[in-house]
Amino acid sequence: MDFESDRKADMTTDGRIALITGANKGIGYEIARQLGEKGIMVLIGARDADRGSAAASELSRSGIAAQHIPLDLHDEDSILEAARQIDSEFGKLDILVNNAGVTDPDDGVPSVATTGALRRIMETNFIGTHAVTKAMLPLIKRAPAGRIVNMSSSLGSLTLNGDPTSTYYSAQLLGYNASKAALNMLTVQLSEELRGTPATVNSVSPGFVKTDLNGHTGHLSVEEGARLPVEFALQGDDAVSGQFVEAGGQTPW
């Protein structure tokens, strides 16, 4: 595995450890970069070893403590192995950013979306994310103040999906929108489960960011899109939990 010693982590970071899934490119990479610049050891979760290692190396060259960890949301064995490695090397996980997600060209309105597309999207965006969260939860609970950020979307809001005046109303993508609504349910229920502990979990919509996911048609840069997720990953003692937020404030469920 692509881990270095605890000694190096202690020398180059403030002791906090963050895992970001899908962090080899796009907004995930930028979240890792911004967290790393705060002195946090960032673990680059990526299923492609070459891309994950390249991303970690690029961050390391800029003075950030970064390592690649193989992680495939479709492979529960890889998820459990990642949790074992983090446990062995660090004994805890301070921050988990569930960033990895997919769209599908066969997604669309209910009469168009294929069953295969719905399965592929839900397997990654919800089921895979739940598997990662469940595996990492014991490590999050060992941290002094664990933070979980679920990268959601305003498209996951049932309220906005049903409001013809909403700017999001025209984006009728059954699979993707449903997967983010399901992810929001994970946030709500996990927040309740974590009640009374220092750990928090929130759904954060980064906005319409220029990424591969949307063919770079967004109007926000990855730097702009990463700011809010990073802010919630770094919440202090006054942290909130169980929220669904975007740059303008809270998003209706």
User: Which one of 29, 168, 180, 210 is the catalytic residue?
Assistant: 180
The residue assigned the tokens 């739940």 is 130
Q: Are 152 and 204 in contact (CB under 8 A)?
A: yes
Residue 1: closest CA among 55, 49, 51 = 49
Q: Are 156 and 183 in contact (CB under 8 A)?
A: yes
Which amino acid, residue 190? L
Q: Is 180 a catalytic residue?
A: yes
Chain centroid offset of residue 230 CA? 10
Q: Are 233 and 35 in contact (CB under 8 A)?
A: yes
Which amino acid, residue 149? V
Element (H, E) at 92: none
User: Which one of 29, 168, 176, 210 is the catalytic residue?
Assistant: 176
Catalytic residue positions? 176, 180
